[in-house]
Amino acid sequence: YPERPTSTLTNREADHVDVDESLLPEDSWERKLEEDEYEVERIADVR
């Protein structure tokens, strides 16, 4: 086998980005419910 390239990973705090930190409210899949909207869950186990 030919020699494989190697690389060194550095773990510096300055390069670290927290994913939750970078999300903005408008990027969220969850949206605020209006006053007349309600969150419900499907009941799949009906006997």
How far apart CA 17 and CA 38 sit, in angstroms, is 35
How far apart CA 27 and CA 30 sit, in angstroms, is 9
**Using the 8-state DSSP alphabet, how is residue 13 labeled?**
G
Residue 47: pLDDT over 70? yes
Q: Tens digit of pLDDT for each residue in 4-45? A: 878 877 766 666 666 666 666 665 677 778 899 988 888 888
The pLDDT assigned to 6 comes to 82
The pLDDT assigned to 28 comes to 64
**Using the 8-state DSSP alphabet, how is residue 2 labeled?**
P
Residue 46: pLDDT over 70? yes
**What is the DSSP secondary-structure string of 14-46?**
GG---HHHH--GGG-S--PPPTT----------
Residue with tokens 């409210």: 25
pTM of the model: 0.27
Residue 2's identity, in one-letter code, is: P
